[in-house]
Amino acid sequence: MQDALETGTQAVDRALGDYDYAPTTEEVGRVIAVGEGIAWAEGLGAVGSGELVKLAGRVSALVMDILPDKVGLALLDDATGLSAGDEAVRTERVLDVPVGAGLVGRVVDPLGRPLDGGGPVDAPARWPVERDAPPIMHRAPVERPVETGITVIDALIPVGRGQRELILGDRQTGKTDVALTTILNQQGKDCLCVYCAVGQRSSSVASAVETLRQNGALEYTMVVVAEGGDQPGMIYAAPFAATSMAEYLMHEGRDVLVVYDDLTRHAVAYRQLSLLLRRPPGREAFPGDIFYLHSRLLERATHLRDEHGGGSLTALPVIETEAQNLSAYIPTNLISITDGQIYVNPDLFRKGQLPAVDVGKSVSRVGGRAQHPGYRKVAGDLRLSYSQFQELEAFARFGTRLDESTRKTLEHGRRVREAFKQRRYERLSAPEQVSLLFAVTSGFLDTIPVENLPDVRKRLTQTLEPREDLMEQLTQAGPDDGVWEELQGEMERFFAAEGGDDNP
């Protein structure tokens, strides 16, 4: 018994000898003012920019301004009940989000909290929402395409993996439809997707999520949501949080597509925060660093070299214009930052030309290098000839008498335009697009009445579908490959039968 007591005493003495008393310190200030979406606090002398602060023990806030006597905070949570005099406690960490493959298939807010009722998020790590863009020497050329499934884009305005392609146009013209169709078309293409809803209405977000779910796209897509009724601080953080989630997957060697829908609301939320924090306003009342806000976000999209993982992050930012004004402040900023733009024209939308992509005002400065070789055979001169057709059609409306050559050019252009039409969320594979464009550019559709073209196109696809060997070669075929002669023969047989049906 005595030996046992001695052993216990020795253990206690040894534990006390090893114990190192290290008291933890906590810097606590107090809230001195609360505004609409912002707060001011004092007593946080060592706080850092971008640090997360807890107000009244329950409200998260982001440090935006550090002044000699106070700190400006952007609120991230509902601030009901928050008032001057409440505690402001440093967390000593910057704003970060959970990252990992466990987020795929989930709907979360910009702080990584689940919104889909699916339980806690399974994430192996947390990354800051603000991260440096990859160095230039870590980047590889854009060499592989992002197939959108939309013929007019894949053929004339191609997007490559690692590119930043802007989608812009007036409200309610189909910008989100273009982005969602691109996400839906990534099924089976080894490309993960992130859909970031920035300041959208709840009904719009619910509709987009339901579209993804019904088409099986949530299996490879994560959704980050900051609704229009959320605090402007949450809207500000949403695109950066989504990018960090995507970057983690990119550094794991995956190809990731991120849609920011839309950055107009993001800029407005940042303007609201800046004005409330009494920053000097500039053009259109936006702060002077609004260009830097979006450039540091979109610069994170890239294609990494193999020695750095070989992954890619493709950005599709969406922006809303007013009355087709492409020269407004935010649109011109983003046009200059991105590698091209897809302009959705409201005039085409009203005429029923869907998707309403304006070929003349759209451009891809990188994607042509990543485009499948087969497109160069069938769409090499199509952009120029289609633009000429649109000008000629506008001139022909004056009622001028047209010669036979001009009339044929107009009729051919109308068939090209009809070939570009697609229903909402309809996707065509690359071989289907190439075969359709081959039929158009070779003149096979010139004798088909325009109103019959949708049915003819459908039957042509059904006829070529069993020819898997032929279809697989189309996208990679060079301009002089024998596969084009084989396709020519198939087309001649098909349209001979079509002519026989129309003229018995």
405-441 pLDDT per residue, tens: 888 888 889 999 999 999 999 999 999 999 999 999 9
Total Cβ atoms within 10 A of residue 34? 20
Tell me the chain's radius of gyration from C-alpha atoms: 28
For residue 40, the cross-strand partners are 33, 72
What is the spatial distance between Cα 392 and Cα 389, in angstroms, rounded to a whole number?
5
Q: Where in the sequence numbering do the catalytic residues fall?
A: 365
Give the per-residue pLDDT at 243. 98
Give the per-residue pLDDT at 22. 65
What is the spatial distance between Cα 323 and Cα 285, in angstroms, rounded to a whole number?
20
What is the spatial distance between Cα 49 and Cα 73, in angstroms, rounded to a whole number?
10
Give pLDDT tens digits for 279-302.
Answer: 999 999 999 999 999 999 999 999
Q: What is the mean pLDDT of residues 265-273?
A: 97
Share of the chain above pLDDT 70, in %: 95
Delimiting residues of CATH 1.20.150.20 domain(s) in the chain:
376-502
> Which of the four pLDDT bands, split at 50, 70 and 90, describes residue 384?
confident
Q: Is the model's pLDDT at 227 over the cut of 70?
A: yes
CA distances from 434 to 150, 451, 458 (A): 12, 22, 14
Give pLDDT tens digits for 447-459.
Answer: 888 899 999 999 9
Omega before 504 within 30 of 0, i.e. cis: no
Report the side by side order of strands in the sheet with 191-200: 107-108, 221-227, 191-200, 255-261, 312-320, 166-169, 340-344, 363-364
Which helix (H) or strand (E) covers residue 168, if one does?
A: strand 166-169
Question: Is the separation of the CB atoms in 151 and 420 below 8 Å?
Answer: yes
Task: Please state the CATH superfamily assignment of the domain spanning residues 97-371 in this structure.
Answer: P-loop containing nucleotide triphosphate hydrolases (3.40.50.300)
Question: Is the separation of the CB atoms in 392 and 406 below 8 Å?
Answer: yes
Give the per-residue pLDDT at 501. 44
Which helix (H) or strand (E) covers residue 363, if one does?
A: strand 363-364
What is the spatial distance between Cα 269 and Cα 236, in angstroms, rounded to a whole number?
6
Residue 57: which of 30, 38, 93, 39 has the closest Cα?
30
Q: Is the model's pLDDT at 1 over the cut of 60?
A: no
Q: Is the model's pLDDT at 336 over the cut of 80?
A: yes
Token pair, residue 421, equals 């039409």
Delimiting residues of CATH 2.40.30.20 domain(s) in the chain:
28-94
Alpha helix segments (H runs only) across 122-231: 151-156, 175-184, 202-214
Give pLDDT tens digits for 76-104.
Answer: 999 989 999 999 999 999 999 999 999 99
Give the per-residue pLDDT at 275. 96
Give the per-residue pLDDT at 380. 81
Which helix (H) or strand (E) covers residue 31, if one does?
A: strand 28-34
Delimiting residues of CATH 3.40.50.300 domain(s) in the chain:
97-371
Q: Is the model's pLDDT at 504 over the cut of 60?
A: no
DSSP helix/strand/coil, 249: helix
Q: Which CATH class, in words, describes the domain spanning 28-94? A: mainly beta
- Pairing status of strand 166-169 against strand 312-320: parallel
What is the spatial distance between Cα 247 and Cα 302, in angstroms, rounded to a whole number?
10
Give the per-residue pLDDT at 234. 96
Question: Is the separation of the CB atoms in 205 and 227 below 8 Å?
Answer: yes
Total Cβ atoms within 10 A of residue 291? 18
* Correct CATH for 376-502 of 3.20.20.70, 1.20.150.20, 3.40.50.970, 1.25.10.10: 1.20.150.20
Residue 411: which of 402, 421, 423 has the closest Cα?
402
Q: What is the mean pLDDT of residues 329-353?
A: 95
**CA angle centred on 240, ends 427 and 30, rounded to 5°:** 150
Least confident interval from 1-10, 151-160, 288-297, 310-319: 1-10
Quick one: DSSP state of residue 9?
H
For residue 41, the cross-strand partners are 31, 71
Question: Is the separation of the CB atoms in 90 and 47 below 8 Å?
Answer: yes
